[in-house]
Amino acid sequence: MVTSEAPRLTLDTLDITDSDRYRDHGYPWAEWDLLRREAPIYWYQRPGFEPFWAITRHADIRYISAHPELFSNSQMLRLNTAQKLTQQQTEREFQTNRHGGDPSDPQDFIWMDPPEHRQHRGIVARHFTPRVMKTLEDHFGELAENYVSDFADKVVASFADKGADSAVDVVHELSAKLPVAAICDMGGVPEEDWEKIFEWTEAFAGQDDPEYWEPGENSFQATQRVVGQWFRHTQGLIEERHRNGFGEDLLSDLLQAEIDGRNLTPDEVHNYFFLLLGAGNETTRNAITGGVKALLDHPEQMQMLVEDESLVPSAVEEILRWTSIVIQFQRTAVQDVELRGQTIRKGESVVLWYPSANRDEEIFEDPYKFDITRKENDHFAFGGYGEHFCLGASLARWEMRSIFHALRPILPQLEIAADPEYVISFLHVGGIKRQMVRHRPA
């Protein structure tokens, strides 16, 4: 009898950089497992990519994240194909033509190293502390209840209309709502524009997906259109602040900031605001959607959450670990560094694979078990606790807690109606484009 076996995975042939594969088959867990086991600091050379060191263990990602003096953010930030990097460079030139500045200046503060990084991040950091989140809790908690209730009504109405053929999209009808509302509110974006911000973020993140192109456009043109619309919108808000005075919002802080005796340039204001609005709504939305799917895929875990609201915080941490929606960030060695017997030479790049760290068997007991009661959960969903640790971590945690708290009574009435559709933006965020669910009759 002839059996067809999958080809054996080897270090020489494994592939962790094919974004079509992420989109069609999910994350390359088996490949990361092999790397962690056999070559945790692995020199990865494949056509279409500049070679890099693939870093897959928790301890090494923590070490690199904690040493910005050895590993810089200012040269390469995210791994991508050489072709895509050229496109991004051209986009950056377009952008600086539009609002001034030099294309070789750091695009935003993620591209900076200390001490400059800390000064620039510090302009807005006060808005994101756990203490500030606490003051917003009630207001956003109410929003979460309303969004979940609207979503539940849609699920029931769709079922009444179409029965077993009914389907409601979690992404657009639920997950996107609170993250957009929260960051736009903090940014001082008027409520009537929130939907547009969401659409632009979705189109920007999905720029390689023809679904987000207008007829006759390619990826580059679609991106130019979206960034142009977004730029004009921000420009309008800036002019409004200059006319009517500043408020207590992120944009007002950016406009009034002074660093070393100067204000931010228009290029910096636009890019920082774009970073905050984009990061604020693209990431958390995917974690919420992935969390709904994980709970529906694990009914016994879902039932525990439904019965015990005190599990919401640990469930959110497990969802963050489980979904690991940020795939990688990149750093460049500023001097030769020895790690696990390998010499990383000055100028070579290292890529930190966070989902791999989140399945590291040296850190997590039974890492492939989705367990909302997990006690020790030192995950790297928000990065490896270094200089660039996610600025919005408290906000994202708070948003997810209020959504999953409000969802508890609804979850048992839902079932998955179709597999998720993925959009992988820049090999960087594991985005979910659509996740259809339907009402599950009792």
Tokens matching residue 71: 């590993």
Contacts of 93 (CB under 8 A, 6+ apart): 103
Question: Could you tell me the smallest distance in angstroms from the CB atom of residue 135 to ligand HEM?
Answer: 17
Question: Could you tell me the smallest distance in angstroms from the CB atom of residue 109 to ligand HEM?
Answer: 6
- Residue (65 or 166) nearer to ligand HEM, CB: 65
Question: Could you tell me the smallest distance in angstroms from the CB atom of residue 334 to ligand HEM?
Answer: 16
Q: How far apart are CA 147 and CA 434, in angstroms?
A: 17
Cβ(41)–Cβ(55) under 8 Å?
yes
- Residue (206 or 291) nearer to ligand HEM, CB: 291
DSSP category for residue 412? G
Q: Can you list the pairs that 63-68 forms with residues at least 24 positions away whose Cβ atoms lie under 8 Å?
A: 63/339, 64/331, 64/350, 64/352, 64/384, 64/386, 65/352, 65/383, 65/384, 65/385, 65/386, 65/387, 65/388, 65/389, 66/384, 66/385, 66/386, 67/386, 68/113, 68/114, 68/117, 68/386, 68/387, 68/388
**Helices 393-407/177-187 angle, 10° precision:** 140
- Residue (276 or 363) nearer to ligand HEM, CB: 276
- Residue (374 or 439) nearer to ligand HEM, CB: 374
- Residue (27 or 329) nearer to ligand HEM, CB: 329
SS3 213: coil
Neighbours of 308 (CB within 10 A): 13
Q: Residue numbers of the site for ligand HEM (CB under 6 A)?
A: 65, 109-110, 121, 183, 275-276, 279-280, 283-284, 287, 325-326, 329, 354, 381-384, 386, 388-392, 395-396
Question: Could you tell me the smallest distance in angstroms from the CB atom of residue 220 to ligand HEM?
Answer: 25
Question: Could you tell me the smallest distance in angstroms from the CB atom of residue 137 to ligand HEM?
Answer: 15
Question: Could you tell me the smallest distance in angstroms from the CB atom of residue 410 to ligand HEM?
Answer: 21
SS3 154: helix
The residues with which 330 forms a beta bridge, in sequence order, are 351
Question: Could you tell me the smallest distance in angstroms from the CB atom of residue 186 to ligand HEM?
Answer: 8
**Helices 266-297/299-307 angle, 10° precision:** 100
Neighbours of 171 (CB within 10 A): 21
- Residue (37 or 134) nearer to ligand HEM, CB: 134
- Residue (31 or 399) nearer to ligand HEM, CB: 399
421-425 and 41-44 strand pairing? unpaired
- Residue (40 or 280) nearer to ligand HEM, CB: 280
Question: Could you tell me the smallest distance in angstroms from the CB atom of residue 420 to ligand HEM?
Answer: 16
- Residue (67 or 440) nearer to ligand HEM, CB: 67
Q: Which residue is nearest to ligand HEM (CB)?
A: 392
Count Cβ atoms within 10 A of the Cβ of residue 366 and give its class: 0-12 exposed, 13-18 middle, 19 or more buried.
exposed
Complete edge-to-edge strand list for the sheet that includes strand 436-439: 168-169, 436-439, 414-416
Question: Could you tell me the smallest distance in angstroms from the CB atom of residue 368 to ligand HEM?
Answer: 19
